[in-house]
Every structure is written in structure tokens, then in C-alpha cells.
Structure 1
Amino acid sequence: MDSRIARIRRKLAEVPCTAWRSHSFGEEKHGFRLEPPLSDSKVAELETDHHIELPDPYRRFLTTLGGGGASPFHGLLPLQSCRLFTMDPRCETGRPWGFTFAGGPPHRSDLFLHIIEAGCTDLVLLGITGPLAGRVVTGNSDGFRGPDVSSSTDFLAWYERWLDHMLDGRDNRELELTSPALRAPVDRVLRQHRDGEDLSRP
């Protein structure tokens, strides 16, 4: 078994108990909890239905750690909610590119699986075919942002980097992490609001 699986499991358990960690955007939704792992047959069913083969590190995550839940942003989508996208150049609109839902029969162009709920039209995708297979790509279905290809070599490396940066209390725009130092003023206002204090006082 990949040694990263055990490390990720341990680090994920440490995050909620770490006082000076970063805040991860969307963490309130998943609470750093994973759904139960998926069976090999359940994953194989999706692969057969969509005529694809999931990158092995992502597949191992699903079958040994969890089939949804804790991740950057609002959490890993359940496998049945993941959809395939293709990259769609749209130079004529003034937007250099976008991602388009790959409905209908299998496309022969490069495919990306929408794996994480990021909110609005933002997308966190995993390359399935083509030169970016196995890499995490962030972007936007409207073509306003990206595509940004993670420097992490595969999904497990990308996921573990999220945990490491959070445990180290770092800021990370790509992963939407906010360090304790930057978050302190926001926490103060929220605390005052919760306690019914006069927010106009210094």
C-alpha cells in the first residue's frame, strides 16, 4: 500500500486539534470528516459507465480513505455526482478557454473529472486522459480563471500538501488557506458579533 495513505489518515485526524493551523475555506461543510471508502466494484462501475480509467492515486484514495468529504473547498464530491468535462477554447468570445460538460457519448478529447465542490462556477478537476492525466487542475466553467495546473504530481500529493500547509499555518491562495495571523481580525469581529458586543468600540 502507498505509504502516503497512512500519513494522510494521521494528518487529517490532527487538523481539527491543531490550535495554530490555517483555516480552509469551506471546512465548515465537511468538518474534516470523510465518507466511508468505496468498494472496488463501485469504482469500476463508474469507469465502465463512462468508458474511463481513474488515475490510480485517486482510485486508492476512494477505496482506502473515503468516497467523499474532507478536502480543500467544500469537500470531495460523491463519485456518483462527479461529471466529466472537456477543455473548451473560446477565443472568439474574448475568453481564452473554459471547461464544458462532456455529456453524451464518450469524447476522444482530453477529459477532466469534476471531483471537488468549489462553489459558483469554479471547478476542481482531475485529468483523466491526455497530457494532464492524474494532475489536479482548477478553473472556471465560464472561462474567467485558469486553467491552473497543480505542481503536485498526483492527487495524493496534492491532498497531502493541503494538509501540510494547513498544519503549518500557511496562507495558500490556490488551496484557499488563510493563516491564523490573517484570520485574527475576522475571528475577532465574528466573536464580538456572537457575544453581542458593540462593534463600534475599538
Structure 2
Amino acid sequence: MDSRIAHIRRKLAKVPYAALRSHSFGEEKHGFRLEPPLPVARIAEFEAEYRIELPVSYRSFLTTLGGSGASPFYGLMPLRACRLFTMDAQGELGRPRGFTFAAGPAHRGDLFLHIIEAGCTDLVLLGITGPLTGRVVTGNSDGFWGPDVSSATDFLAWYERWLDHMLDGRDNRALELTSPALRAPVDRLLREKARPAAP
């Protein structure tokens, strides 16, 4: 088993109780909880259905830590809800390339698995084939921005970076983290609005 799994498990257990941690956008939805790990047979069924092979670090996460739940944004999606995308290779000159659903098993181009719910048309994807296999890529299905490739070498490194930045109370726009220092003025305004008006 990858030694990072134990580190991630410990860090994830600390996050909800860390006094000066960053706020992670969407954390209210998953509450830093993971659903039970997936059986290897369930992953094998998914791979056979889509004729793909999941990257090793993502597979390790799913089978040892959790099948869905805590992650940046609104949370790691259950495997049954994940869909394959390809990166648009067509388009007008100067138009940003977006992502589109992969068309059946006879897909063309490199494949990316939509693994995290980020909201609207934003996508957090994992490279399944091609030069970005195993890397986390963010983008937009409308082609308005991205694709942005994380510098983390694989899913476990990317996930652990999220936990480290949160525990360190850091800002990270790519992971939608807000440090306590930046959040303080907003929290103060919310508290003031919540107070009942003086008689």
C-alpha cells in the first residue's frame, strides 16, 4: 500500500478541528467525511464498462480511503456518477478548448474522468489516457477557461496538497481555499448582519 494513504488519513482527520485552517469552498456539502471504500470488483466493472484503466493512485484512494466525499469543491463524486470527457481538438482559431462527453467506447482523443463536483460547468478531471494520465486537470465544458494541469504528479499528491494547504491556513485559488486572514473581514460582516438591530 502507498505510504501516502496513511498520511492522508491522519491529515483528513485533523482538518475539521484545526483552529486556523483555511476554508475550503463546498466543505459544507461533504463535511470532510468519506464514504466507505469501494470493492475492487466494483472498480473492475466500471473499467470494463468504459474500457479504461483507472490510474493507480486514484484506484488506491477509492479502495482504501473512500469511494466518494471529502475533496476540494463539493466533493469526490461516486464512481457510478463519473463520466468520461475528451478535450475538444476542434474549434475556431483563438477559441479556448473545452471538454465534451466522450462518445461511446469508440472515443477519439485523450480521455479524462470527471471525478469532483466543482459546480456550474467547471470540471475537475483525472487524465485516463495520453500524456496527462494520472494528472488532475481543471477546465470548463464551455471552453471559457482552462485546461489547467496541476503540478502534482498524481491524484494522491494533489489530494494531500489540498490537505496540507488547508492545515497551514493558506490561500490557494486553484483549490478554492481561503485563509483565515482573508476570510476574517467577511466573517465579521456576516456576524454583524446576523445581530439583531438595537431597539
Which bracket does the TM-score occupy, shorter chain normalised? over 0.9
For the pair 1:142 / 2:158, whether they are aligned, the reply is no
Higher deviation after alignment, 88-97 or 99-108: 88-97
Cross-structure match for 2:89 = 89
Cross-structure match for 1:152 = 152
CA contact (8 A) 2:51 2:105 kept: no
- RMSD over equivalenced CA pairs, Å: 1.3
Cα separation, 1, equivalents of 2:102 and 2:91: 19
1:92, distance to aligned residue in structure 2 (A): 1.4
Cα separation, 1, equivalents of 2:83 and 2:197: 46
Unaligned runs of 5+ in 2: none
For the pair 1:55 / 2:90, whether they are aligned, the reply is no
For the pair 1:102 / 2:140, whether they are aligned, the reply is no
Higher deviation after alignment, 185-194 or 37-46: 185-194
Once the two structures are aligned, what percentage of the paired residues are identical? 78
Cα separation, 2, equivalents of 1:159 and 1:48: 26
Instruction: State the TM-score, normalized to the length of structure 2.
Output: 0.96
Cross-structure match for 1:7 = 7
Cross-structure match for 2:18 = 18
One-letter identity of the residue aligned with 2:159:
Y
CA contact (8 A) 1:85 1:114 kept: yes
Secondary structure in structure 2 of the residue aligned to 1:92: coil
1:94, distance to aligned residue in structure 2 (A): 4.8
1:190, distance to aligned residue in structure 2 (A): 1.8
Cross-structure match for 2:186 = 186
Runs of 4+, deviation exceeding 6 Å: none
CA contact (8 A) 1:51 1:106 kept: no
Instruction: State the TM-score, normalized to the length of structure 1.
Output: 0.95
Unaligned runs of 5+ in 1: none
Higher deviation after alignment, 101-110 or 8-17: 101-110
CA contact (8 A) 2:58 2:155 kept: yes
Size of the aligned set, in residue pairs, is: 198
Cα separation, 2, equivalents of 1:68 and 1:101: 21
Secondary structure in structure 2 of the residue aligned to 1:54: coil
1:192, distance to aligned residue in structure 2 (A): 2.3
Cross-structure match for 2:128 = 128
Cα separation, 2, equivalents of 1:158 and 1:191: 34
Cross-structure match for 2:166 = 166
Cα separation, 1, equivalents of 2:9 and 2:106: 35
Cross-structure match for 1:114 = 114
For the pair 1:74 / 2:74, whether they are aligned, the reply is yes
Cα separation, 1, equivalents of 2:25 and 2:196: 25
Cα separation, 2, equivalents of 1:25 and 1:69: 14
Cα separation, 1, equivalents of 2:110 and 2:89: 12
